Amino acid sequence: MTDTAATDASAPEIAVRLFAGAAAELGADDATVRARTVGELVQALTAGATPEAARVIGRSSLLVDGVACTDHGRVLAPGSRVDVLPPFAGG
């Protein structure tokens, strides 16, 4: 899945890895989006997605370059990688 339909073509391309339910809902294990912040990245991933896909992404944990991130205002650097980890059931 590739989504380069950002509002600003000068925003950096960010590699996104999707796991479990997020990958299933979006139909891909990875994506590339243009986003300046984590919030823009979430918006890019959910734009045009099904309501269930948007719900899964909205409830997912995000790792930016391997570090947990809950700040949707965090600025993304060119070359950053974001992992989308939906809640897992079981133990």
Name the band, by pLDDT with cuts 50, 70 and 90, for residue 1: low
Distance CA 65, CA 8 (A): 22
Per-residue model confidence (pLDDT) at position 22: 94
Name the 3-class secondary structure at 85.
Answer: strand
Q: Whose structure tokens read 């990875």?
A: 30
Number of structural domains (the chain) is 1
Q: Is 39 within a domain?
A: yes
pTM over 0.75: yes
What is the number of alpha carbons within 13 Å of residue 91 lying toward its C-beta?
A: 0
Please determine, for residue 69, whether its predicted confidence score (pLDDT) is greater than 50: yes
Please determine, for residue 73, whether its predicted confidence score (pLDDT) is greater than 50: yes
pLDDT digits (tens, 9 = 90+) for 33-44: 999 999 999 999
Q: Is 3 within a domain?
A: no
Q: What is the mean pLDDT of residues 60-74?
A: 97
Q: Is 52 within a domain?
A: yes
| Number of other residues whose CB lies within 10 A of the CB of residue 39 | 14
Q: Is 64 within a domain?
A: yes
Nearest in space to 72 (alpha carbons), one of 29, 43, 48, 33: 43
Show the domain range for 39.
13-85
| Domain at 37, CATH number | 3.10.20.30
Q: Whose structure tokens read 């949707």?
A: 72
| Range name among 45-49, 70-74, 80-84 with the lowest pLDDT average | 45-49
